[in-house]
C-alpha cells in the first residue's frame, strides 16, 4: 500500500458515478433483448422462412424439431426477455421518452426474403388504372423523391405484411398528393406487390412478384 | 475494487483540446440540417408531424397518451410548423456554436416530441442524433470554432469524457448490431447470403440489383466482412486501453499498438462500409451521421497532427 493517496477532486467521483449510471442503463437498453412479444409475428413469411432454415440446420446436427416447435420455444424466450427488459427500464422510461434517447441498433437483423413493392395507381372516373409510382420502376416515378425519403419509407415499409395504424392515413396523404398533381384522376389505389427474393441456385429469377397486400382506394372528395 | 474504481474515474477524467468535439458538432449539425431541409422541401412537415385532422399521418391526438407538444399548445398544423421551425433554428444555432448547450437541449426535446407524433418515421439514426445532441448539452463545444467563443471567450480545454462517451456509443452501435444479426443469412451456415438479399429489397436498393447473381461470391465476401467489422467493434476499447498503457508488457498489446488497429484497419473498414451503403441503398442520412461521428476516434492531438501533415502535403 502506498503511504499516500493521490488526491482527486470530488467532482471526478461524482462524474464517474453519474456516467456509471448512464452506461449501465443504456448498456442494458442496448442488450439484444426483445422489446415486445407477439406470437403472431412468428407467422410472418420472413419469420417462417427463418424458422424453416433453422429447423433444417438443427436436423443436420441431429436435433429433430420443426419450425412450429421452434416458434413456440422462441416465443417463450422472447416473452421472458421483453418482460425483463421492460421491468428493468421502467424507472427510466419517462426520462428516455422525454429526451427520445435510447439504444436500439438492429440494422438488417433479418434480411427480408419477402419484401414488397409500393405501387400507386390512378384513374379517371370510368377509365383504366394507370401506374403512377412503383418502387424502382423507371416508368412510374410520381413523387419518387418523397416516397424514397427515409421518413416516408419508414411509414409505409412496416405495413407491407400487415396494414398497421399509419397505413390508412398514409394512403389518404398519397391520395391528396395525386389529386393535386393530376386533375384528371378521380380514384387512387395504393397497395403492395409481394416479392420473393431467390438466391442463386434456388430459382432462375432473382425476384418473383406475386400477390397484392393492403390494397386501399381513395376517391376525389 | 478501489483499483477498478480508480480506473473508471480516470477514464472519464481529464481535459483536452475542443477541436474534435467542434468538428463533430459542425459535421453532425450540417447533416441534420440537410435532412430537415428535405422535410421542408418536400412539404412533409404537416404529413409527418401534423395532427390527423390537418392531414397528418400520425394522428397524434387520438393516441392513448397525447404528446406534450399538442397537449400544451393545441393540435394544429400551425403548432407542427412552429415546432419544426424551432427545431431547425436550434440545430442551426448548435451547428454555428451559438448558445450551443441550451440549443442542443432544445433540439433534443423538440425532436423527441416529433418522434412520438409519428414513431414510424423516426429511425434508429434519429435516436443516435438525439443521444449525441444530449451529450453536447454538457459540453461547451461552441467555445471553439463557434459563436460562443466570440460571445463568452474561447476555451483551450474542455472535458474529455464526452468524446470518449461518443466512442463508446459507436462501439455499442456496431457491436450490438453485429450480435443481433442472428439470421442464418449472416453466417456461413446460411451461405452469407444476407447482403445479396438486402440489396434485392426494392424499398431500400438504389438501383435494381438482380445482376448481383453474376457476382454472388462477392456479396458473400462483403457479408462476411460486415460481420467481422461489427463484431470487432468490441476490441476498440481494448485497443484504446493498450494505447494508453504502451509501456506495459504483452505481445498482443505490442501488436495492437504497432499496427494502430483502430485507425489503420478498423476505421477504414467502417468508412468503406458506409460509403458502400450510401452508394447502394436509400437509407438517407444514416451513413453520413455515422461518418460525421468518426472524428471522435481521434485524440485532438492526432487531429492536429493530421491537419498539419495535410497542409504540408498540399503546400499550405
**B4–chain A nearest CA distance, Å:** 12
Residues in B 207-236 with any Cβ partner in A closer than 8 A = 207-210, 212-213, 216
- Report whether pLDDT(B220) > 50: yes
Average pLDDT over residues A12-17: 95
- Tens digits of residue pLDDT in A205-219: 878 888 899 999 999
- Tens digits of residue pLDDT in B84-122: 999 999 999 999 999 999 999 999 999 999 999 999 999
CB neighbours of residue B54 within 10 Å: 14
| Angstrom distance (rounded) from CA B137 to CA B148 | 14
Report the residue of B8, B135, B201 to disrupt the A interface, i.e. the one with the largest count of A CBs within 10 Å: B201
Neighboring chain B residues of A56 at a CB cutoff of 8 Å: none
- Report whether pLDDT(A3) > 50: no
| Angstrom distance (rounded) from CA A160 to CA A167 | 9
pLDDT value of position B1: 64
Residues in A 153-212 with any Cβ partner in B closer than 8 A = 153-155, 157-158, 160, 164, 166, 169-170, 172-173, 176, 195, 197, 199-200, 205-207
- Between B214 and B64, the more confident residue is B214
| Angstrom distance (rounded) from CA B221 to CA B269 | 13
Q: Name the 3-class secondary structure at B137.
A: coil
CA-based max dimension of chain B? 68
Among A19, A54, A200, select the one facing B184 at the smallest CB separation: A54
- Tens digits of residue pLDDT in A122-157: 999 889 999 999 999 999 999 999 999 999 999 998
Yes or no, beta carbons of A149 and B111 under 8 Å apart: no
Residues in A 118-157 with any Cβ partner in B closer than 8 A = 118, 135-136, 145-146, 148-155, 157
Share of chain B above pLDDT 70, in %: 99
- Tens digits of residue pLDDT in B53-90: 888 998 777 776 778 999 999 889 999 999 999 999 99
Residues in A 24-63 with any Cβ partner in B closer than 8 A = 26-27, 30-32, 50, 53-54, 57
- Between A38 and A181, the more confident residue is A181
Q: What is the ipTM of this complex?
A: 0.92
Among B180, B204, B284, select the one facing A32 at the smallest CB separation: B180
Q: Are A123 and A185 in contact (CB under 8 A)?
A: yes
| Angstrom distance (rounded) from CA A221 to CA B247 | 76
Neighboring chain A residues of B218 at a CB cutoff of 8 Å: none
User: With a threshold of 0.90, does the pTM exceed it?
Assistant: yes
Quote the mean pLDDT of chain B. 94
Buried b (16+ CB within 10 A) or exposed e, A49-78: bbbebbbeeeeeeeeeeebeebbeebbeeb
Model confidence at A41, in pLDDT bands (50, 70, 90)? confident
**B262–chain A nearest CA distance, Å:** 21
Amino acid at each position: 500500500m502506498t503511504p499516500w493517496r493521490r488526491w482527486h477532486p470530488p467532482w471526478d467521483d461524482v462524474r464517474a458515478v453519474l456516467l456509471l449510471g448512464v452506461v449501465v442503463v443504456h448498456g442494458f437498453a442496448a442488450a439484444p433483448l426483445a422489446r415486445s412479444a407477439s406470437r403472431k409475428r412468428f407467422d410472418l413469411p420472413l419469420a417462417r422462412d427463418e424458422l424453416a432454415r433453422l429447423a433444417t440446420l438443427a436436423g443436420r446436427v441431429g436435433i429433430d424439431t420443426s419450425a412450429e416447435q421452434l416458434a413456440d420455444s422462441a416465443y417463450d424466450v422472447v416473452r421472458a426477455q421483453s418482460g425483463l427488459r421492460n421491468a428493468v427500464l421502467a424507472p427510466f422510461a419517462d426520462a428516455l421518452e422525454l429526451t427520445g434517447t435510447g439504444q436500439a441498433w438492429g440494422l438488417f437483423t433479418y434480411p427480408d426474403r419477402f419484401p414488397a413493392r409500393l405501387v400507386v395507381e390512378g384513374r379517371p372516373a370510368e377509365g383504366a388504372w394507370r401506374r403512377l409510382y412503383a418502387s424502382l420502376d423507371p416508368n412510374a416515378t410520381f413523387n419518387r423523391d418523397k416516397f424514397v425519403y427515409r421518413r416516408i419509407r419508414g411509414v409505409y415499409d412496416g405495413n407491407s405484411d400487415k396494414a398497421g395504424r399509419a397505413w390508412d392515413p398514409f394512403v389518404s396523404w398519397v391520395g391528396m398528393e395525386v389529386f393535386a398533381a393530376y386533375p384528371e384522376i378521380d380514384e387512387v389505389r395504393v397497395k403492395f406487390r409481394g416479392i420473393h427474393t431467390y438466391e442463386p441456385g434456388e430459382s432462375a429469377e432473382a425476384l418473383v412478384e406475386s400477390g397484392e397486400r393492403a390494397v386501399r382506394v381513395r376517391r376525389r372528395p | 475494487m478501489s483499483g477498478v474504481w480508480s480506473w473508471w474515474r480516470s477514464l472519464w477524467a481529464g481535459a483536452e483540446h475542443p477541436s474534435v468535439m467542434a468538428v463533430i458538432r459542425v459535421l453532425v449539425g450540417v447533416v441534420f440540417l440537410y435532412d430537415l431541409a428535405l422535410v421542408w422541401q418536400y412539404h412533409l412537415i404537416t404529413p409527418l408531424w401534423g395532427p390527423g385532422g390537418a392531414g397528418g399521418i400520425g394522428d397524434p391526438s387520438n393516441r392513448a397518451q397525447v404528446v406534450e407538444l399538442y397537449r400544451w399548445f393545441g393540435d394544429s398544423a400551425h403548432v407542427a410548423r412552429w415546432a419544426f421551425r424551432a427545431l431547425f433554428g436550434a440545430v442551426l444555432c448548435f451547428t454555428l456554436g451559438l448558445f450551443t448547450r441550451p440549443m442542443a437541449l432544445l433540439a433534443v426535446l423538440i425532436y423527441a416530441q416529433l418522434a412520438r407524433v409519428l414513431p414510424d418515421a423516426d429511425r434508429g439514426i434519429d435516436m443516435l442524433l438525439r443521444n449525441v445532441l444530449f451529450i453536447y448539452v454538457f459540453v461547451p463545444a461552441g467555445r471553439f470554432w463557434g459563436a460562443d467563443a466570440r460571445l463568452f471567450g474561447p476555451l483551450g480545454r474542455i472535458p474529455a469524457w464526452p468524446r470518449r462517451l461518443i466512442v463508446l456509443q459507436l462501439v455499442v452501435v456496431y457491436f450490438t448490431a453485429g450480435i443481433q444479426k442472428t439470421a442464418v443469412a449472416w453466417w456461413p451456415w446460411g451461405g452469407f447470403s444476407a447482403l445479396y438479399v438486402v440489396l434485392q429489397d426494392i424499398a431500400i436498393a438504389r438501383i435494381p440489383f438482380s445482376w448481383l447473381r453474376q457476382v454472388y461470391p462477392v456479396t458473400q465476401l462483403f457479408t462476411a466482412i460486415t460481420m467481422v467489422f461489427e463484431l470487432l467493434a468490441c476490441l476498440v476499447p481494448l485497443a484504446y486501453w493498450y494505447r494508453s498503457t504502451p509501456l506495459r508488457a504483452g505481445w498482443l498489446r505490442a501488436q495492437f499498438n504497432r499496427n494502430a488497429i483502430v485507425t489503420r484497419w478498423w476505421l477504414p473498414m467502417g468508412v468503406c462500409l458506409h460509403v458502400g451503403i450510401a452508394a447502394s441503398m436509400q437509407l438517407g442520412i444514416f451513413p453520413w451521421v455515422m461518418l460525421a461521428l468518426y472524428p471522435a476516434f481521434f485524440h485532438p492531438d492526432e487531429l492536429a497532427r493530421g491537419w498539419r501533415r495535410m497542409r504540408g502535403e498540399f503546400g499550405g
